[in-house]
Chains A and B, each alone.
Chain A
Amino acid sequence: MKLPIPLPILRAMVAHARESYPAEACGIIIGTTERLTRLTRCRNVQDDLHAEDPAAHPRTTRDGYSIHPQDMFAIMKEARERGEAFRVIYHSHIDAGAYFSDEDKRVAIWEGEATYPEAAHVVISVVGGEPKEANIFRWNPGRREFDGEALELP
């Protein structure tokens, strides 16, 4: 299913990626099966994880993201109350391409299934502080893989 991202939501996502540089931004867009309704910026707790245990969490927000679990839970609850679900999970890459990295896939796939099958993943490349390009990756249940497609930036 290819839900279009409404322009105001797309702009909000790109603005978030730009403002967060040089840290990776992350957030979640919820919606119905027909329409995306709301974007929520999430806290990237990667620096906290790294400070606590650098061996287990070698990445910082410069090259990694972990959505604050409380943010995820709150958005999930809101979505459930509205009869909606996670539709897009987005994050940015800093001075790197808008690819779906092995690390991204490792978490997005669990037990050979999409961790959040109703959500597409958007990766925004931010180079020198400016969003350069973005790709959207949707779960393909037949291939058990994510199919990527370019996402035009506003």
Chain B
Amino acid sequence: MGQPSITVRIPPPLRKLTGGQEEVSGTGGTVSALIADLESRHAGLRDRLLDEQGRLRKFVNVYVNDEDVRFLKDLETELREGMTVTVVPAIAGGSAT
């Protein structure tokens, strides 16, 4: 059986890596495998999403359907055919201190 096919929503600052596309497809049984698959066609995506230790960057939130992967199994969250993965950059800030 093949790997599940997943729809991935890419935020605007990273669309230069996807030829301007807002949605791309990828395959993978976990979020981690999906990112590796995307990297093979959209080089540079992995480093934008993961830090040097291979963990999700602090300001990057990843949703599988409607669930934040940090409340699931993080990068090992399992994916099934037809799921949607959404990358949502955090919004934060504050006054000068």
Q: Which residues of A contact B (CB under 8 A)?
A: 24, 26, 28, 46, 56, 59, 63-67, 69-70, 72-73, 76-77, 89, 91, 93-94, 96-97, 99, 101-108, 110-111, 113-118
Q: Are A76 and B88 in contact (CB under 8 A)?
A: yes
Q: Are A115 and B13 in contact (CB under 8 A)?
A: yes
Which residues of A are found within 8 Å of B11, using beta-carbon distances? Answer: 115-116
- By DSSP majority rule, is chain B's interface helix, strand, loop, or mixed? mixed
B window 58-82: CB within 8 A of A? 58-59, 61, 63, 66, 68
Q: Which residues of B contact A (CB under 8 A)?
A: 11-14, 16, 48, 58-59, 61, 63, 66, 68, 86, 88-97
Q: Which of A97, A107, A116 contacts B92 (CB 8 A)?
A: A107
Q: Are A96 and B13 in contact (CB under 8 A)?
A: no
In the complex, which residue of chain B has the Cβ closest to the Cβ of A69?
A: B61
Q: Which of A69, A101, A115 contacts B96 (CB 8 A)?
A: A101
Which residues of A are found within 8 Å of B95, using beta-carbon distances? Answer: 24, 63-64, 93-94, 96-97, 101, 103
Which residues of A are found within 8 Å of B90, using beta-carbon distances? Answer: 66-67, 69, 72, 107
Q: How far is the CA of A94 from the CA of B68 in the complex (A)?
A: 30
Q: Which 3 A-B pairs have the closest CB atoms?
A: A64-B94, A104-B93, A66-B92
Q: How far is the CA of A138 from the CA of B82 in the complex (A)?
A: 37
Q: Are B94 and A72 in contact (CB under 8 A)?
A: no
Which residues of B are found within 8 Å of A89, using beta-carbon distances? Answer: 91
In the complex, which residue of chain A has the Cβ closest to the Cβ of B71?
A: A70
State whether A114 and B96 are in contact (beta carbons under 8 Å apart), knowing that A69-B68, A77-B66 are contacts in the complex.
no
In the complex, which residue of chain A has the Cβ closest to the Cβ of B93?
A: A104
Which residues of B are found within 8 Å of A59, using beta-carbon distances? Answer: 94, 97
Q: Which of A56, A108, A114, A117 contacts B58 (CB 8 A)?
A: A56
* Interface pairs (17), CB distance under 8 Å: A46-B94, A63-B94, A64-B92, A65-B92, A66-B91, A73-B86, A77-B66, A89-B91, A96-B95, A97-B95, A105-B93, A107-B92, A107-B93, A110-B59, A113-B12, A115-B13, A117-B13
